[in-house]
């Protein structure tokens, strides 16, 4: 993929750092769901995002927020295997909350664009594994993949690519 840099190692180092910090230092607190703990952890997570992931993405503004439900179009999520098929669990937010559909296989081609939102865990206030990746489906040339929706992919089936082309609108922005 032209203009793309593989940043999978950096993204997985970030995931492991966040997972380890939560499980070791935050999850066992008396009020792990309390706003003080959540705010403190958000600062740690943001610092790890800036120091590990954004440092691997030259020219991107270091003040971009991670994990706020907003897609990061300069980080593309692609299948790890050469089969170009991924199990995706699409989400439906039409009822005011995200309802996740059962996982289904989807063919991913060069015209399919999955953008990183965050790592996902079903029970974020307990011990976490963060084994799922929440993505935004921004483009597809098939009606089988619902453009404009969120989906979950299994982290070990994914690679992460920095798209210099999609980073231009993020340079200098906060």
Tens digit of pLDDT for each residue in 64-80?
889 888 999 999 999 98
What is the sign of the dihedral through the CA atoms of 40, 44, 45 and 49? Answer: positive
How many domains does the chain fold into? Answer: 1
Of 110-119, 147-156, 163-172, give the lowest mean pLDDT range: 163-172
Residue 2 has a pLDDT of 62
Residue 161 has a pLDDT of 96
Mean pLDDT of 99-123: 92
Residue 20 has a pLDDT of 97
- pLDDT at residue 158 tops 90: yes
Q: Where are the beta strands (DSSP E) in the chain?
A: 4-6, 72-79, 85-92, 99-100, 104-107, 113-120, 132-139, 150-154, 158-163
What is the sign of the dihedral through the CA atoms of 99, 11, 172 and 148? Answer: negative
Give the model's confidence band at 173: pLDDT under 50 very low, under 70 low, under 90 confident, else very high: very low
Q: Are 134 and 152 in contact (CB under 8 A)?
A: yes
- pLDDT at residue 11 tops 50: yes
Neighbouring residues of 134: CB distance < 8 A, sequence distance ≥ 6? 116, 117, 118, 119, 120, 150, 151, 152
Alpha-carbon distance of 108 to 124, in angstroms, equals 29
Q: Are 121 and 130 in contact (CB under 8 A)?
A: yes
Mean pLDDT of 22-34: 87
- What is the DSSP pairing of strand 85-92 with strand 104-107? antiparallel
Residue 17 has a pLDDT of 97
What pTM did the predictor assign? 0.90
Which residues span the domain enclosing 9? 4-170
Mean pLDDT of 109-124: 92
């Amino acid at each position: 993929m032209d203009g793309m840099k593989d940043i999978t190692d950096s993204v997985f180092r970030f995931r492991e750092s966040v997972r380890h910090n939560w499980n070791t230092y935050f999850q066992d607190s008396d009020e792990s769901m309390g706003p003080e703990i959540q705010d403190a952890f958000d600062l740690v997570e943001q610092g790890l995002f800036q120091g590990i992931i954004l440092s691997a993405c030259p020219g991107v503004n270091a003040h971009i927020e991670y994990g706020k439900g907003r897609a990061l179009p300069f980080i593309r999520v692609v299948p790890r295997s050469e089969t170009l098929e991924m199990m995706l669990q699409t989400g439906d937010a039409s009822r005011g909350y995200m309802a996740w559909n059962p996982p289904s296989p989807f063919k991913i081609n060069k015209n399919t664009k999955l953008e990183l939102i965050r790592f996902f865990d079903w029970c974020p206030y307990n011990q976490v594994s963060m084994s799922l990746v929440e993505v935004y489906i921004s483009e597809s040339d098939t009606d089988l993949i619902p453009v404009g929706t969120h989906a979950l992919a299994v982290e070990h089936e994914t690679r992460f690519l920095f798209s210099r082309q999609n980073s231009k609108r993020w340079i200098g922005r906060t």
